[in-house]
Structure 1
Amino acid sequence: MIEISALKSPINNQLAITGSKSESNRLLLLNQLFENVLKLENVSNSEDSQLMQKALANKTDLIDIHHAGTAMRFLTAYFSIQEGKKVTLTGSERMKQRPIKVLVDALNELGAEISYQENEGYPPLSIFGKKLNKKSITIPSNISSQYITALCLIGTKLKNGLTINLDGKIISVPYIQMTIQLLNKVGIEAKFEGNTIQIPFTENIKVQTLQVESDWSSASYYYSLIALSKNSQIKISTYFEDSLQGDSSLQHIYADNFGVTSSFENGILKLKNDENFIPKPFVELNLINTPDIAQTIAATCVGLKMKCNLTGLETLKIKETDRLVALKNELEKFGAIVIITNDSLMIDGYHDFQKIPTLATYNDHRMAMCMAPLAQIHSIRIENEMVVEKSYPTFWEDWKQLGFEIKSI
C-alpha cells in the first residue's frame, strides 16, 4: 500500500508517455501476420504489450497471457489461422471469468477449430490452426470492439478476404475506426461503412517505419490532475492533434466540463487551467465510444464535488473487474452518493468524510490510476499499487517526478 499527499505548489512539468497499448497491440499482430516488415517506434512498455510480444514469439503449445484481455482476443483469432499448430491459450483467474464466446463462435463459423477446456464460453481455449475459407460473418454489434478488431486483423490473411456484418447498434465505434485506419496506414484497403466492414486479402505490405502515438487514456490522469489543481500546466509526449484514438475526445470533455485546455506543438501536448472557466453544476456525458476514460471522469467529478450522470458504460462490467461496482465502492469513501445501473453511473450528492481513504484496486490498473489525482484534494492510500504495470509501468515514477510524496505503508 502507498500513501500520496497533495502537492504544495502548482504543477509545471514535462513527461514522456510510451505508445498506446491499443495501437501497439494491433500493430504487433499485423507485423507478425506480415513477417515483421514494420519498424515500430514508441511501442507501449505496458505489461499487456510485453505479454503480446512474448506470446507471438512463443514456440511452445501453452500460451499464458495473464490479465491481458486484448492479447486474449487478438491471439485467439491469430492462432486459429496458424495451420497445423495446436495451442492452449489461458490466463489469470479473472481472465477465465471474462467471456469470449461471441468471438469463438464467429471463428468456428468461419471454419476454425476452437474448444473450451473448462467452462463453456470462457478461457482457457484449445485452438487447432486451420485454413479458413468462408468469406463473411454476421455478429452482434453491441460487443467488445476487440472481438471485431481480432476478426479484422486476421481477415487480411484469409484468401477470400472477410466481410463482417454488424447486427444492431455498434458500441465503441472509435476503436473499430482505429483498426481500419491503421490497416489503411500500412497499405491495406479496408473499409467500414454503415454496419459493414470489408477486409481484403493482402499478400504483402511494404517495409515502413511507424511511430505509435502515446496513449490518450494514460493522458486522462493528467487531465484530471490539472482539473483538480490551480495555476498548473503539464506537457506530455508523444501526441497528435489528428489522433486515431477515440480517447482523444478528452480534449473537448475536459475543456467543456472541467476547464482544462489542450494545445499541441511538435508532438507535445500541453494541458493547463483555463483561468476564465466557470464550473458547471452538473456533468452529463454519454461515454459509449470512450468507456476507458469513464473512471477518470467520475473521479474528477468527485474531486470537484460535482454531480454527474455518465451513460453508455455497459462494457465496464466485463473488464478487469466490474468497474461500475468498483467505482461505487471506492468513490463512496470520499463521501459521494453513487448510483449505478447496468450501463450508467450517477453521482447525486456528497456527505462529509474524515479519515484518509484506503482505496482497493481490484487488480485493475485503471482503478489505481484514476484515483491518484484525488490526492490533490485529500491524502489517499492505494492498495496493490503496482497493478499499473498492466498499461503504464512508470506511472508512480512519473508522479514522483511531478513532485508528489509517495510513501509505502
Structure 2
Amino acid sequence: MDIKIQKSQLHNHQKVQITGSKSESNRLLLLQALYPQVSISNVSNSDDSVLMRKALSSEEELIDIHHAGTAMRFLTAYFSIQKGRETIITGSPRMKERPIKILVDALSTLGAEITYLENDGFPPLKIIGKELTENKVTLAANVSSQYISALLLIASKFEKGLELTLEGKITSVPYINMTLSLLNSVGVETSFVENIITVKPNTTDIEPQTLTVESDWSSASYFYGLIALSDVGTEITIGSYKSESLQGDSVLADIYEKFGVTTTFLKESITLRKSSNIDINSIVELDLKNAPDIAQTIAVTAFGLGLECYMIGLHTLKIKETDRLVALKTELEKLGAEVIITDLSLHLKPSKTVNSNITIATYNDHRMAMAFAPLGLKVPIVIENADVVSKSYPQFWEDFKTIGFNLK
C-alpha cells in the first residue's frame, strides 16, 4: 500500500499514546521465557515483538522471524540453551543477507552447537540446544550491541555465568546498559567494569513481579521531526515517557534543541514545543554511535529545514533492514538534497527547496517510511509500501491522521 501525504497542517496541542519500547519488550520477553514468574505490562505491539512472543511460545522445529533482526539474534542465543531441543531459525530473503557469524562464533566458543544451513555466516541456522559450561568469551567492542545483549540475556542460565570481554572502544553503551538494568530488575546480578561485563549464574528463585515497559523513544523521534518542521508555538504531548530512561534514543531531547524543539517532562509523558526558529547557516554535527536508529529522522529534519548536517557513528546502519546510508542518500537526492556518505558517516549539504510529489522507496524498512513522513508538512509526498511501519509502530498512520495529516 502506498500513501500520499497531501501538504498538511498539524492540529496544535494534541496528545498521542505510543506503544512500549520494542528494545525493552524483546529483552523482557526473553527474560520472561527464562523466568516465568515475571509479568510484563505495556509490551510493544510491533511486528517484531509479536514475532518474538510467538517464537518463544512455539514448540515447532522451524521458527521464521521474517524481517525481525533483534529476534533473530536474541532467539539464536535462547534456543542454544534449550537442552535437547532442535530448532531451525530462518527469516526473509533480506534476513538471510544479514550477518550473524560474530554471535554464532561467540556462542560456539561457549559450547553451543549451531550450523549454517545455506551460506556460512548467515541465517538460516540449525541449533541443537544444550547446557553451556564455558563462561568466558571475547568480542570486538564495536560490534552491534544486539550480539552482546543476546549473550548477556541468557548468561544467568550458564553453569558458571559469563565473563564477556570487549576489545577496543565500546559503542552502543546505552543498549548494553539497558540489558544489564533489565537483568538486575528480575534479580540477576551483573557488573560492567571497564571492558569486562560479568553476569552471575542465577542460584535463587526469581520473585514474582510485573515490569512496565517505557514507551518507545525511537517512535518519539518522528514527532520531534514534526515539531521541528512546524511553526513556532506548535506543541504535542506524547506518552508514556520518563526522564530517567534506559533507552539510548532518549538523547532526542537534547539533540532536537539544535532544531528549536524543547522537551518538558511531565508525570508520565513529554510535551514537545517548537520554541524558536534556528539560524539557517548553522551546522548540526552529531556522533550517533549510541543512537543510530534516529539518524534517518534527523537527516530528514535537517533537510526539511534547509540545514547542513554531519553525522558520524553510523557503521551499524549498513546491516539493518536495508543499507540505511545508501537508502537515505538515494531518497534524499530525489527530493533535491546533496548527500555524501561513507561507511560510517553522512554529510547533508544545505538545500533551499524540497521537490514535491516525490515517491519515497522504503526498502522494507519501517524507519524509512516514518522518517520521511514529516516532510508532508512542507510538500506533498508519497510513501511507498507504507504498511511496513507495522514492524515497530503499527498505529503510525492512524496517529498521524489524528494529529492533522491529510492521507490518501
Do the two structures share a fold, i.e. TM-score over 0.5? Answer: yes
For residues 116 and 9 of structure 1, do their structure 2 counterparts lie closer, same or farther at Cα, with a shift above 3 Å needed? Answer: closer
Report the alpha carbon displacement of residue 179 of structure 1 after superposing the two structures with TM: 0.6
What is aligned with 2:235? 233
- Give matches, 1:188-207, under 5 Å: 188-203=188-203, 204-207=205-208
Q: Which amino acid aligns with 2:368?
A: M
Aligned counterpart, 2:9: 8
**Structure 2 unaligned spans of 5+:** none
Change over 3 Å in CA distance of 1:288–1:280 after alignment to 2: farther
CA RMSD after TM alignment: 1.2
**2:58: which partner in 1?**
58
CA apart distance, 1:5: 2.1
CA distance in 2, matches of 1:350, 1:275: 20
Please give the alpha-carbon distance, in whole angstroms, between the structure 1 residues aligned to 2:9 and 2:136. Answer: 59
Tell me which residue corresponds to 1:296.
297
**Alpha carbons of 1:377 and 1:355: their partners in 2 closer, same or farther (altered >3 Å)?**
closer
Q: Determine if contact 2:356/2:379 at 8 Å carries over to the other structure.
A: no
TM superposition score normalised by structure 1: 0.97
Question: Any idea what the Cα deviations from partners look like across 1:130-175, whole Å, max 9, x if unmatched?
Answer: 1100011111111110000000011011010000001111111110
Query: Are the aligned partners of 1:358 and 1:382 in contact in 2 as well (CA < 8 Å)?
Result: yes
Shift of 1:251: 0.3
Per-residue deviation, 1:188: 1.5
Structure 2 CA distance for aligned equivalents of residues 9 and 103 of structure 1? 44
Question: In the aligned structure 2, how far is the partner of 1:355 from the partner of 1:151?
Answer: 46
**259-268 or 307-316, larger mean C-alpha shift:** 259-268
Q: Which residue of 2 aligns with 1:93?
A: 93
Deviation of the 1:266 alpha carbon: 1.6
Gaps in structure 1 of 5+ consecutive residues: none
SS in 1 for 2:286: strand
1:116–1:125 contact (8 Å) kept in structure 2: yes
How many residues end up aligned between the 2 structures? Answer: 405
Specify the alignment match of 1:126 in structure 2: 126
Per the alignment, in what secondary structure is the counterpart of residue 373 of structure 2? helix
Question: What corresponds to 1:251 in structure 2?
Answer: 253
1:74 and 2:56 equivalent?
no
Q: Which residue pairs with 2:346 in the alignment?
A: 345
- How far did residue 10 of structure 1 move? 4.8
| Secondary structure in 2 matching 1:30 | helix
The one-letter code matched in structure 1 to 2:181 is: Q
Separation of aligned partners in 2, 1:228 and 1:105: 45
Q: In structure 2, the residue corresponding to 1:247 is in which secondary structure?
A: helix
**Aligned amino acid, residue 385 of structure 1:** A
CA distance in 2, matches of 1:295, 1:11: 25
Shifted more, 296-305 versus 195-204: the winner is 195-204
1:337-383 deviation line (CA, Å, top 9, x unaligned) = 00000100001233756441110000000000000001111110010
Question: d(CA) in 2 for partners of 1:227 and 1:242?
Answer: 23
Deviations 1:280-337 (A, max 9, x none): 6211101011000000000000000101111010000000000000000011122110
The Cα of 1:216 is off from its aligned counterpart by: 0.2
Q: Distance in 1 between matches of 2:197 and 2:99?
A: 23
Q: Cα offset for 1:210?
A: 1.0
Residue deviations 1:73-126, cap 9 Å, x none? 000000000010001000000000000000000101100000000000000000
Partner of residue 114, structure 2: 114
Task: Please name the residue that 2:23 is paired with.
Answer: 22
Partner residue of 1:357? 358
Q: Does the alignment pair 1:145 with 2:145?
A: yes
CA distance in 2, matches of 1:245, 1:185: 15
Q: Is the 8 A contact 1:259 1:279 kept in 2?
A: no
Q: Is the 8 A contact 2:336 2:354 kept in 1?
A: yes
* 2:215/2:241 contact within 8 Å kept: yes
- Give the distance between the partners of 2:214 and 2:283, measured in 1 at CA: 33
1:167 corresponding residue in structure 2 = 167
Q: 1:126 to 1:276 in 2, by over 3 A?
A: closer
Q: Is the 8 A contact 1:258 1:279 kept in 2?
A: no
What's 1:378 paired with? 379
Distance 1:274 1:96 in 2: 45
